[in-house]
Amino acid sequence: MGKKVAFPFRHHASLVCPEAKQMLRDAGFELICNDTGEKLSASEQHEMIRDAFAVVAGTESYDREMLTGCDSLRAVIRFGVGTDNFDLAAMREMGIQVGVIANYNAVAEFTLTLMLSALKNYPRFDMAVREGKWSRFPMRELTGKTVSIIGYGRIGRRLSELLSGFHTRLLAYDPYIDEEAARQRGVTPCGFEQALSEADVVSLHLPATPDTFHIINRDTIARMKDGAYLINTSRGSLVDEQALYEALTQGKLSGAGLDVYEVEPVTADNPLFSLDNDVLSPHCAALTYETNYNGGIICANSIINVLNGGKPVYSLW
């Protein structure tokens, strides 16, 4: 019996490509998959990963309790990039390698889609025409605007490349910014205050951590430019939704583009969903055929690397 790779997340069958699974089988792994179509309970998940060598993980929790007793576990590869569902300190302590995939093209493209849709209020045109209404109103142009990218990692950097054609003034706030990488892309590194106060569009690309919880709140929104737009394709916990709702209804902000929410999956009673100056999507920014295929291959290569004494392709340490 070969070493095991577990796929506990219910969407693995539609997301992880067969080629990646075959690479793992060819490397001698036995694959243990959640084919129930349902989210596993914590005890079912623990049972599945207990004697696995590696796990390909979704958004299910990997806290200390879940990992305790998983003595063969050497690698957890997130089929995504957000690791807020991982206890990274416990994983490091237990000698588990942690990796992610690369979905920055998909998310950067989708961020640009939401940004343009919000500035054009595009969904309202689409809805009106479908209803047989000739509803026309002026929009905003992105060209020449100041865009602040908060969190200048992989997605932030790719977004700045995509935005360069719009002749925007680009600011980036990131405490760990690679200034050279920023300047090469025509981006000016700046402090948080400047990123808030000078931007026509603020776009969030930082991780969800205790430090970044509600980084956009009543106070920080007040310091944003009147009439600015907020785009969030990172994590819902970064934004105080009540404060955003007030800003959108009181005219402080002109609009917002949101892919992520404080509560997911969403329910229809979220007050933000009743507004006509926000553009919404269901946490799907990374969901492209290209990312799914490449992500699967990255997972397989990461696990094979760890088997051979190396590191995951996009290793967290």
The residues that touch ligand NAD, with contacts defined as CB under 6 A, are 80-82, 103-104, 107, 150-156, 173-176, 205-208, 211-212, 233-235, 259-260, 283, 285-286
Question: Phi-psi region for residue 229, left (φ > 0), alpha (ψ -120 to 50) or beta?
Answer: beta
**97-100 and 314-315 strand pairing:** antiparallel
Q: Is the dihedral of CA 291, 84, 154, 232 positive or negative?
A: positive
Q: What is the DSSP letter of 227?
A: T
User: Rounded CA gap, 25 and 3, in Å?
Assistant: 10
Closest approach of ligand NAD to the CB of residue 152, in Å: 5
User: Rounded CA gap, 214 and 267, in Å?
Assistant: 20
Nearer to ligand NAD, 45 or 103 (CB): 103
Cβ contact 65:43 at 8 Å? no
CA atoms within 13 A on the CB side of 31: 20
Query: Residue by residue, what is the 3-state secondary structure of 169-183?
Result: EEEEECCCCCHHHHH
Closest approach of ligand NAD to the CB of residue 249, in Å: 25
Candidates 58, 151, 143, 154; CA nearest to 106 is 154
CB atoms within 10 A of CB 286: 23
Q: Token digits for 157?
A: 């950097």
Give the residue numbers annotated as catalytic, written as ranges: 235, 264, 283
Nearer to ligand NAD, 150 or 304 (CB): 150
Closest approach of ligand NAD to the CB of residue 181, in Å: 10
Closest approach of ligand NAD to the CB of residue 155, in Å: 3
Closest approach of ligand NAD to the CB of residue 137, in Å: 29
Nearer to ligand NAD, 48 or 208 (CB): 208
Nearer to ligand NAD, 169 or 214 (CB): 214
Nearer to ligand NAD, 216 or 260 (CB): 260
* Residue whose Cβ sits closest to ligand NAD: 153
CB atoms within 10 A of CB 63: 13
Closest approach of ligand NAD to the CB of residue 160, in Å: 11
Nearer to ligand NAD, 120 or 158 (CB): 158
* Environment class of 94 (CB within 10 Å of its CB; exposed 0-12, middle 13-18, buried 19+): middle
Cβ contact 61:42 at 8 Å? yes
Which letter, b or e, does each residue of 121-138 get, where b requires 16 or more Cβ atoms within 10 Å of its Cβ?
A: beebbeeeeeeeeeeeee
Closest approach of ligand NAD to the CB of residue 317, in Å: 13
Nearer to ligand NAD, 164 or 209 (CB): 209
Cβ contact 103:80 at 8 Å? yes
